[in-house]
């Protein structure tokens, strides 16, 4: 709807552009260049030994504006256990607050949330607002919307960022309606202009374009942030001021009948090395080759959507827009063309190596190192040398 500029929409698209090319590829051709496999082994080794502390170090950006109101990050939790996606958003929230020269606050809703409040400081918050919802510690959309909208109306922040996980996405939309402001969903990039207005960028049209959206006249701007894109700040021992608000007269239309814990760890999201497999692998039997390579490098296998859709590999191993966003130290793409929907899932990988027969394949433009060649020739040789 934003694209056609619906009358009355609080948000406005200000720029649409193709996804940025973030890497500068170095490419070798099998059969043309010398010692391609040696070079590949060296690049793999380098990728795995590079100092990982580097990317965690926070460098305070130069402020672009001076904003009076604060930046808030909503901290998601399940019965007092923080959702780690919140700390990634806190990391980016810190940068946004610094660009606006304002302070960064965490918002925590619930009854027993001491652990969440403590960790919010350790991951970068200057201040924590705790809306105490007596008797409600689990997420309840009615209760949490009332609590958050009261806090927002009372303290009037500039922006509220939410992790793009299930409950916060819902809470962001119901709260945006309750306080009559705009919501920009599923963002992957942020900037601030000289007026202190937040520019939020998100993939649109199935990832073919990036739209930059602002909320010019309503405050706060509400934003959900795609999990897995940003990194948390290094954890510290800092503490700060907690502002507690008892939220009275809560009502809910929901009644929780039962709660059950579900194990939802995804090995892909946590792996340091991911070997990605695409249609170039030709036959499900051949995925063994990728598994062998992954095992040798202490990693796991991920796949493109067509492979997951045809049941060649489990759906929870699909990398990309409708799969998992990954951030390994090294991603090796075997026989993957590099569709944008796949690329958004690997944007956070530290190094990307692609092996593909087609020198024109898009994946090469989004890789650090590429080998133009047959994966059935390159991978067995690579396995022998590693």
Q: Which residues pair with 11 in a beta bridge?
A: none
* Buried/exposed 219-251: b ≥16 CB within 10 Å, e otherwise: bbbbbbbbbbbbebbeeeeeeeebeebebeebe
Q: How far lies 320's CA from each of 135, 276, 341, in Å?
A: 39, 11, 6
**Separation CA 190–CA 169 (nearest Å):** 18
Binding of ligand FAD at residue 216 (CB under 6 A)? no
| 212 part of the interface to ligand FAD, by CB under 6 A | no
Sign of CA dihedral 344, 349, 352, 357: negative
Q: Does 366 bind ligand FAD (CB under 6 A)?
A: no
Task: Examine residue 28 and tell whether it contacts ligand FAD (CB under 6 A).
Answer: no
Whole-angstrom Cα Rg for the chain: 23
Q: Which alpha helices (DSSP H) does the chain contain, by range?
A: 36-49, 53-56, 85-99, 114-122, 141-155, 166-178, 267-270, 287-296, 305-309, 340-346, 375-385
Nearest residue (beta carbon) to ligand FAD: 320
What is the C-alpha separation between 293 and 353, in angstroms, rounded? Answer: 13
Q: Does 286 bind ligand FAD (CB under 6 A)?
A: no
Separation of alpha carbons 82 and 120, rounded Å: 9
Out of 101, 173, 286, 341, the only residue in the binding site for ligand FAD (CB under 6 A) is 341
> Is residue 375 part of the contact set for ligand FAD (CB under 6 A)?
yes
- Considering the complex, state which of residue 94 and residue 202 has its C-beta at the smaller distance from ligand FAD: 202
The verdict on 219 binding ligand FAD (CB under 6 A) reads: no
Among positions 202, 226, 305, 329, the unique one binding ligand FAD when judged by CB under 6 A:
305
Q: Does 280 bind ligand FAD (CB under 6 A)?
A: yes
* Nearest residue (CB) to ligand FAD, 43 versus 317: 317
Shortest separation between residue 288's beta carbon and ligand FAD, angstroms: 15
State which of residues 89, 160, 274, 361 lies at the interface with ligand FAD (CB under 6 A): 361
| Closest distance to ligand FAD from the beta carbon of 160 (Å) | 28
The separation between the first and the last C-alpha atoms of the chain, rounded to the nearest angstrom, is 51
Asked if 124 touches ligand FAD (CB under 6 A), the answer is: no
In a 13 Å sphere around the CA of 127, the CA atoms on its Cβ side amount to 13
Q: Which of 169, 279, 296, 350 binds ligand FAD (CB under 6 A)?
A: 279
C-beta atoms surrounding 83 within 10 Å:
19
Note whether 356 binds ligand FAD by CB under 6 A. yes
Q: DSSP label at 228?
A: T
Toward ligand FAD, which CB reaches closer, 320 or 328? 320
The least CB distance from residue 184 to ligand FAD, in Å, is 20
Tell me the C-alpha distance between 251 and 65, whole Å. Answer: 40
Which segment (41-49, 109-117, 159-167, 313-321) binds ligand FAD by CB under 6 A?
313-321
Query: Which one, 82 or 320, has the nearer CB to ligand FAD?
Result: 320
Nearer to ligand FAD, 37 or 99 (CB): 37
| Candidate list 337, 350, 381, 386; residue touching ligand FAD; CB under 6 A | 337
Stretch that binds ligand FAD, among 83-91, 171-179, 226-234, 340-348 (CB under 6 A): 340-348
Considering the rule CB under 6 A, would residue 318 count as an interface residue with ligand FAD? yes
227 interacts with ligand FAD by CB under 6 A: no
Half-sphere exposure of 44 (CA within 13 A, CB side): 26
Q: Which of 77, 84, 75 is nearest to 138 (CA)?
A: 77
- The whole-angstrom separation of Cα 368 and Cα 26 is 6
In the bound complex, what is the minimum distance in angstroms from residue 186's beta carbon to ligand FAD? 13
Q: How far is CA 78 from the centre of its chain?
A: 19
Q: Using CB under 6 A, which residues numbered 178 to 207 contact ligand FAD?
A: 206
Binding site for ligand FAD (CB under 6 A): 206, 278-280, 304-306, 318-323, 335-337, 339, 341-342, 345, 355-358, 361, 374-376
């Amino acid at each position: 709807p934003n694209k056609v500029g619906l009358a009355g929409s609080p948000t406005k698209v200000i720029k649409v552009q193709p996804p940025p090319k973030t890497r500068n590829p170095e490419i070798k051709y099998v059969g043309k260049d010398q010692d391609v496999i040696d070079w590949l082994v060296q690049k793999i080794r380098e990728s795995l030994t590079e100092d990982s502390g580097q990317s965690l170090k926070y460098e305070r950006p130069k402020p672009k504006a001076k904003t009076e109101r604060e930046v808030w990050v909503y901290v998601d939790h399940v019965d007092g256990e923080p959702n780690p996606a919140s700390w990634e958003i806190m990391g980016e929230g810190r940068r946004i607050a610094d660009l606006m020269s304002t302070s960064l606050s965490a918002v925590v809703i619930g009854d027993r949330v001491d652990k969440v409040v403590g960790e919010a400081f350790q991951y970068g918050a200057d201040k924590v607002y705790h809306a105490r919802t007596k008797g409600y510690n689990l997420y309840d959309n009615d209760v949490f919307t009332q609590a958050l909208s009261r806090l927002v109306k009372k303290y009037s922040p500039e922006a509220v960022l939410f992790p793009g996980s299930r409950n916060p996405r819902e809470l962001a939309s119901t709260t945006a309606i309750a306080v009559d402001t705009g919501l920009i969903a599923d963002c992957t990039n942020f900037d601030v202009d000289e007026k202190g207005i937040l520019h939020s960028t998100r993939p649109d049209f199935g990832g073919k374009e990036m739209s930059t959206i602002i909320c010019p006249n309503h405050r706060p701007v509400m934003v959900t942030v795609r999990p897995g894109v940003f990194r948390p700040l290094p954890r510290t021992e800092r503490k700060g001021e907690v502002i507690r608000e008892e939220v009275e007269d809560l009502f809910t239309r929901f009644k929780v009948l039962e709660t059950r814990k579900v194990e939802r760890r995804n090995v892909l999201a946590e792996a340091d090395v991911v070997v990605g497999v695409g249609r170039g692998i030709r036959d499900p039997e051949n995925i063994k080759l990728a598994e062998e390579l992954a095992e040798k490098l202490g990693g796991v296998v991920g796949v493109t959507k067509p492979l997951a859709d045809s049941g060649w590999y489990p759906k929870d191993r699909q990398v990309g827009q409708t799969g998992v966003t990954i951030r390994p130290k090294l991603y090796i793409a075997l026989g993957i063309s590099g569709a944008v929907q796949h690329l958004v899932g690997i944007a956070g990988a530290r190094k990307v190596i692609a092996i593909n027969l087609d020198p024109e394949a898009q994946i090469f433009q989004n890789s650090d190192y590429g080998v133009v060649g047959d994966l059935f020739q390159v991978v067995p040789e690579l396995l022998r040398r590693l």
